[in-house]
Amino acid sequence: MFPGFLWRLIKFGMVGVTGVCIDFGITWLLKEKVKINKFVANTCGFTIAVGNSFVLNRYFTFEKTDNAAWQSDLLRFLGFSLIGLLLNNLLVWYFNEKVQLKFYISKSLAVVIVFFWNFFSNFFFNFKK
C-alpha cells in the first residue's frame, strides 16, 4: 500500500495521537485540577505518554519482536524522549513566554515539532531493521 518508510511514519503518527491524548489529558489534569506548575505538569504528561508510546511503537510501528533486546531499545527510546522532552519544554516556554501564545497552543506547536525529532531518531537509530 505505502512504502515502508511512509507506512511507518503514518503508524508512528497514529501512536502519536494516542500519546498526545495521554500527554494533554495528564497535563490538563495536573495543571488545571491539581494546580501544579505548568512545566511539571507538562513533564508528567509527556513522561506517561512516552511509556505508552514505547510499547506501541516497538510492536506496532516498527514491528520489533526480539524480546531479548527490549531493555536496550527502551534505554535508547528514553534517551531520545528525554531530548524530545527538553525540546518540548523549551518550545512551550518560547511560544508561551516569548511569542505570547496561549499555553495549550504553545504545547500543540511543540508536539508537532518534537514529533519529527522522535520519529527520525527512532527510525534511524533505535528500531532500524
pLDDT tens-digit readout, 40-88: 998 899 889 989 999 999 989 988 887 778 888 889 988 998 898 899 8
pTM, two decimals, is 0.74
Looking at residues 80-99, what average pLDDT do you find? 93
* pLDDT above 70 coverage of the chain, percent: 98
Q: Which DSSP symbol is given to 36?
A: -
| φ/ψ bin of 66: left (φ > 0), alpha (ψ from -120 to 50), beta (otherwise) | beta
Distance of CA 125 to the CA centre of its chain: 16
Tens of pLDDT, residues 119-128 = 899 888 888 7
Range of the domain at 59: 4-126
- Is residue 111 scored above 60 in pLDDT? yes
Neighbours of 90 (CB within 10 A): 12
What does the block give as the cell for 117? 525529532
* pLDDT above 90 coverage of the chain, percent: 52
- Is residue 14 scored above 80 in pLDDT? yes
- What is the total count of domains within the chain? 1
Q: Which DSSP symbol is given to 98?
A: I
